């Protein structure tokens, strides 16, 4: 496939009306509360759902995108709680509490932590075909539709391979859905049949769900980065699973657990960052990087070894890219006309109609930064250009990823539907450019 994906995720607790919204779409069980069930519940895959997602065609040396997810303080959120006591576990929430211990099961999260953002897609590698897109051939998306599509998802991550679109999502053991028209989806398997043992060993407990799957395509192999964490803690892990095909009917279909990629705040360390919301991307020279982070001290970046997909031994620097006092997560990076653009989500997700997510962006001339807003003010100081915010029924738009498909760019994300009791749904918008800054065009459906 030479891929370009989108991303998806869910937080752990179910906001009012969210489960009923999923059930109405035939995605029963999306909010699993305890055990890992490789069913529709995990990642909302499973039963047919009238939905559509963004995706991009995988081409021969392509990079699938997908990545960061945004569960904020109320979701996957790892925001720092100034007061102490309980870390709001409303969702995937890993807010560091200054004083307390227990994570409260606040009602804001979405269950299942859907974190992958949407195709983070990539930068064009130096000299070659676009990292996404079938050998550089742009993906032909269906015409924009005027009907409302209730596509249940959170932090979507998608990829287009042949005539099929694959939608990845957090929750349970990382279920996958496929579609040939971005409107009707079917179950396309589950990445894991049981929780990898190393995750429980690393965290000291088995997380109820895996979060933020991000899909990319590197040297003939699909790579899915994902996160494991617990409420009220930034002791988190990012893992990697690989496969040579996404078609469950292919005899070569087999997901392989490649183990740990990164771990934050392990025993004996005092990390002020959180290893969730991973998003793999490529720089203009063809090097691979992993951008990630949620709340705490913000968004981070590590260089990867292209051959293994694990952190590079040649560059061990943990780069700091962006921060925001009100919460920041769901990062994704694309390259365009000499600049790297960092898309993030500000504020709180996973609270249904009370979600305050906003989509923001900044840019830099180097993938490692410094990233700034249009006025040249640093993203590390909480500055960025706003792209999306609440608009009528479309509440809390964010948790998405930007991706490139040939000469085209897209942003896939979720929002909370004010006319469906705050259910989290998928949206896709083309990215236009004005004076080397991104602007989001009209959505591909309503």
Element (DSSP H or E) covering residue 158? strand 157-161
Fold for the domain defined by 18-440: Tachylectin-2; Chain A (2.115.10)
Rounded Cα distance between 405 and 414, Å, is 20
Per-residue pLDDT tens for 196-209?
999 999 999 999 98
What integer pLDDT is reported at residue 194 of this predicted model?
97
Catalytic residue list contains 254: no
Which tokens go with 70?
């945004």
- What confidence tier does 161 reach under pLDDT thresholds 50, 70, 90? confident
Partnered with residue 440 across adjacent β-strands are: 431
What integer pLDDT is reported at residue 169 of this predicted model?
80
Whole-angstrom CA distances from 191 to 65, 174, 332, 363 are: 17, 6, 22, 34
Catalytic residue list contains 329: yes
Residues 148 and 21: beta-carbon distance below 8 Å: no
Among residues 95, 214, 329, 373, the one annotated as catalytic is 329
Rounded Cα distance between 288 and 306, Å, is 6
Residue bearing the bigger pLDDT, 268 or 136: 268
User: What 8-state DSSP symbol labels residue 437?
Assistant: E
Q: What is the mean pLDDT of the chain?
A: 74
**Residue 38 scores a pLDDT above 80:** no
Q: Residues of 291-323 as b/e, b for ≥16 C-beta within 10 angstroms?
A: bbbbbbbbbbbbbbeeeebbbbeeeeeebbbbb
Which tokens go with 255?
């997901």
- What confidence tier does 156 reach under pLDDT thresholds 50, 70, 90? confident
Among residues 155, 347, 405, 417, the one annotated as catalytic is 155
User: What 8-state DSSP symbol labels residue 24?
Assistant: H
| Listed range (70-79, 399-408, 417-426) with the worst mean pLDDT | 70-79
Rounded Cα distance between 231 and 59, Å, is 38
Which tokens go with 279?
């998003």
Whole-angstrom CA distances from 159 to 63, 139, 299, 332, 373 are: 10, 10, 24, 15, 29
Partnered with residue 88 across adjacent β-strands are: 104
Residues 234 and 81: beta-carbon distance below 8 Å: no
């Amino acid at each position: 496939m030479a891929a370009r994906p989108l991303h998806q995720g869910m937080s752990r607790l179910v906001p009012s009306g969210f489960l009923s919204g999923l059930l109405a779409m035939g995605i029963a069980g999306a909010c699993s509360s305890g055990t890992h069930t490789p069913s529709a519940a995990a990642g909302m895959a499973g039963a047919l759902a009238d939905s559509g997602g963004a995706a991009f065609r995988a081409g021969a040396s392509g990079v699938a995108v997908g990545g960061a997810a945004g569960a904020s303080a109320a979701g996957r959120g790892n925001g720092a709680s100034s007061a102490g006591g309980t870390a709001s576990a409303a969702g995937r929430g890993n807010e560091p509490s200054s004083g307390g211990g227990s994570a409260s099961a606040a009602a804001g999260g979405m269950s299942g932590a859907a974190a992958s953002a949407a195709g983070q897609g990539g930068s064009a590698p130096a000299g070659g075909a676009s990292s996404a897109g079938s050998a550089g051939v742009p993906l032909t998306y269906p015409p924009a539709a005027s009907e409302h599509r209730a596509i249940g998802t959170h932090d979507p991550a998608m990829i287009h391979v042949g005539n099929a679109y694959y939608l990845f999502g957090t929750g349970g053991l990382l279920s996958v859905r496929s579609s040939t028209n971005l409107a009707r989806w079917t179950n396309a398997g589950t990445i894991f049949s049981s929780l990898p043992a190393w995750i429980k060993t690393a965290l000291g407990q088995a997380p109820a769900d895996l979060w933020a799957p991000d899909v990319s395509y590197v040297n003939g192999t699909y790579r899915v980065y994902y996160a494991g964490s617990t409420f009220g803690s930034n002791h988190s892990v990012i893992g990697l699973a690989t496969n040579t095909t996404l078609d469950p009917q292919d005899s070569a279909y087999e997901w392989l657990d490649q183990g740990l990629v990164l771990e934050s705040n392990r025993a004996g360390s005092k990390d002020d960052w959180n290893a969730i919301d991973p998003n793999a991307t490529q720089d203009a020279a063809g090097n691979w990087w992993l951008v990630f982070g949620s709340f705490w001290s913000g968004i981070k970046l590590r260089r990867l070894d292209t051959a293994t997909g694990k952190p590079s031994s040649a560059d061990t620097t943990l780069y700091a890219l962006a921060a925001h006092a009100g919460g920041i997560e769901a990062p994704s990076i694309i390259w365009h006309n000499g600049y790297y653009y960092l898309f993030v989500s500000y504020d709180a997700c996973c609270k249904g109609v009370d979600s305050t997510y906003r989509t923001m962006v900044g840019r830099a001339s180097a993938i490692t930064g410094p990233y700034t807003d249009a006025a040249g003010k640093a993203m590390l100081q909480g500055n960025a250009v706003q792209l999306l915010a609440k608009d009528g029924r479309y509440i809390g738009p964010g948790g998405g990823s930007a991706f490139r498909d040939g000469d085209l760019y897209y942003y896939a994300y979720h929002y909370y539907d004010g006319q469906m009791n705050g259910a989290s749904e998928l949206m896709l918008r083309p990215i236009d450019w004005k004076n080397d800054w991104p602007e989001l065009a009209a959505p591909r459906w309503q």
